A and B are shown apart, each in its own frame.
Chain A
Amino acid sequence: MKILILFLTFFKIGFFSFGGGYAMIGLMQGEILSHGWISAREYADIVAISQMTPGPIAVNAATYIGFKTAGFWGSFFATIGVFLPSFILVVVIAHLFRQFRENRFVSAAMKGIQPATVGLIASAVVFFSEMSIFTGELPIRHLFTPSAQASVFGVSPEGMLIFGIILLSVKRFKLGPIAAIALSGLLGILLIP
């Protein structure tokens, strides 16, 4: 039963995910956390680990969460779940390739989805900042539900420092993403109490 729910959850994610990579982080988050399979912290760690391992983030997340929840077969069926929508769509679309590419309505819908993925990536920034440079949820999250504030909001000075160093080294000194991850891990060992 658990395995079926895992499969269906990742099937849904596969069917409605656009924008790849970082956009997937925001997109999958609510769905995955709502099942209570893993904590928000663990989800952030999986994403962090995905940055250091081969393969797309969504596949990594499916494999990891599936294993954590229901062992090997959990990870197997979660991964098949995220893969299957692509398989179905590609086999259907491959015959209508040009028509699909040039269809007016498809391209109009895509023009709407593309900026939404920017919003999704921006929401992933908020989620990650709450797990690193801040402690607790940002106060703006409870704009409409003032009573629901669950955690006390604060700033993590060490997290803020590492964030600043990485931002600067990537932006100014063109540090590559893999080196940036390695550096931030090292800084974490040195600075985080």
Chain B
Amino acid sequence: MSEPKTHASLRALFVSFFKIGAFTIGGGLAMLPLIENEFVSRRGWVDEEEMLDILAVSQSLPGVIAINSSLFVGYRLRGIPGALAASAGMIIPSFVTILAIAIIFTQLENNDWVRRALSGIRAGVTALILLSAVKMGKKVLRNWRSTVIAAGAFLALVLGNVHFIAIISLSAAAGLVFYGLKKVRA
């Protein structure tokens, strides 16, 4: 992960991530398969196993997952300039789109059609998030320990208004107590 191995140009890195950033709607996780496809299958700049490592570590580091993975791929291929080119490609489409929406939206906020459409969308998003919570829950909550942590985080946030830094730190500490102190049986 230290020496750049290919001749990927900064421009190509920027363009690849710009395309992924511009055409993936619905958040970071949706981008991961596209990143894999672009850099492993299409361009062949990163090998399969290394990409799996990159995506796994991107998800275990804090921060925006899509940005983390663009930084890793860029850094792996061209060092710090590569990381900057790749992440700029990832961020700029989103930045420009939202900036345009923010400018327009401040004028449309009181438009009746926009208000009603957004009310409908909020109800739709509630359904989407609920389905995602159930899906994630089925995957992750496999024993009483993880269920306790999930319930604790939920209640702390909903009932207690506990700050997110405290929630993340406490759940990491719970992980260390449950899984880190003794050798985990495989």
Binding site for B on A (CB under 8 A): 12, 14-18, 20-22, 25-28, 30-31, 44-45, 47-60, 63-64, 67-68, 72, 75, 79, 82-83, 85-87, 89-91, 93-95, 97-98, 100-101, 104-126, 128-129, 131-133, 140-141, 143-144, 156, 158-160, 162-164, 166-167, 170-171, 177-178, 180-181, 183-189, 191-192
Q: How many residues of B contact A (CB 8 A)?
A: 101
A27 near B129: Cβ-Cβ < 8 Å: no
**Contact digits for B43-73, partner A, Cβ 8 Å, 1 yes 0 no:** 0000000000100110111111111100110
A140 near B158: Cβ-Cβ < 8 Å: yes
Binding site for A on B (CB under 8 A): 1-2, 21-29, 31, 53, 56-57, 59-68, 71-72, 75-76, 80, 83-84, 87, 90-91, 93-95, 97-99, 101-103, 105-106, 113, 115-133, 136-137, 140-141, 145-147, 149-161, 163-165, 167-168, 171-176, 178-180, 184
For A100, the chain B residues whose CB sits under 8 A away are 57
Closest chain B residue to A96 by CB distance?
A: B1
For A166, the chain B residues whose CB sits under 8 A away are 123-124, 127-128
A170 near B129: Cβ-Cβ < 8 Å: no
Closest chain A residue to B103 by CB distance?
A: A67
- Looking at the assembled complex, report how far the CB atom of B76 sits from the nearest CB atom of chain A, in whole angstroms: 7
B157 near A83: Cβ-Cβ < 8 Å: no
For A131, the chain B residues whose CB sits under 8 A away are 122, 126
State the CA gap A93–B132 with chains docked (Å).
Answer: 30
B116 near A63: Cβ-Cβ < 8 Å: no
Q: Which of A85, A106, A177, A181 lies in contact with B60, CB distance below 8 A?
A: A106
- Looking at the assembled complex, report how far the CB atom of A30 sits from the nearest CB atom of chain B, in whole angstroms: 6
State the CA gap A159–B120 with chains docked (Å).
Answer: 7
Give 27 pairs: A residue, B residue, CB < 8 Å, sorted on A.
Answer: A15-B63, A21-B132, A27-B164, A49-B98, A51-B27, A55-B21, A55-B91, A57-B28, A67-B102, A68-B102, A86-B63, A94-B76, A101-B57, A110-B175, A113-B172, A115-B140, A116-B171, A118-B136, A119-B149, A156-B123, A159-B119, A162-B124, A167-B127, A181-B128, A184-B120, A184-B123, A189-B116
Prevailing SS type, chain A contact patch: helix
Interface centre among A30, A31, A114 (most CB of B within 10 A): A114
Closest chain A residue to B100 by CB distance?
A: A53
Closest 3 CB pairs of A and B: A188-B120, A112-B175, A55-B94
| Given A22-B129, A125-B126, A181-B121, CB of A113 within 8 Å of CB of B102 | no
Closest chain B residue to A176 by CB distance?
A: B26
- Looking at the assembled complex, report how far the CB atom of A184 sits from the nearest CB atom of chain B, in whole angstroms: 3
